[in-house]
Amino acid sequence: MELKDYVYSLARKRRSIRKYRSDPIDLGDVLYAISTAIQAPSGAN
């Protein structure tokens, strides 16, 4: 699968979450998400 197809499939499967679990989130997962978000393009770029 090409990257553009993979990203498209992720976007199509995206859902809003309205009920959250109380399980703690691993710090490594949080840091990975932040690092990924920093690299993402924004409207200001």
How does pLDDT run across 11-41, given as a tens digit for each residue? 888 788 788 889 999 999 999 999 999 988 8
Task: Look at 1-5, 7-11, 30-34, 40-44 and tell me which has the smallest mean pLDDT.
Answer: 40-44
- b/e burial code for range 1-36 (CB count within 10 A of at least 16 → b): eeeeeeeeeeeeeeeeeeeeeeeeeeeeeeeeeeee
State the pLDDT at residue 34: 94
Rounded to whole angstroms, the Cα distance separating 25 from 45 reads 30
- pLDDT above 90: residue 10: no
State the pLDDT at residue 30: 96
Rounded to whole angstroms, the Cα distance separating 36 from 30 reads 10
- pLDDT above 70: residue 45: no
Q: How many CB atoms lie within 10 A of CB 38?
A: 8
Domain positions in the chain are 3-38
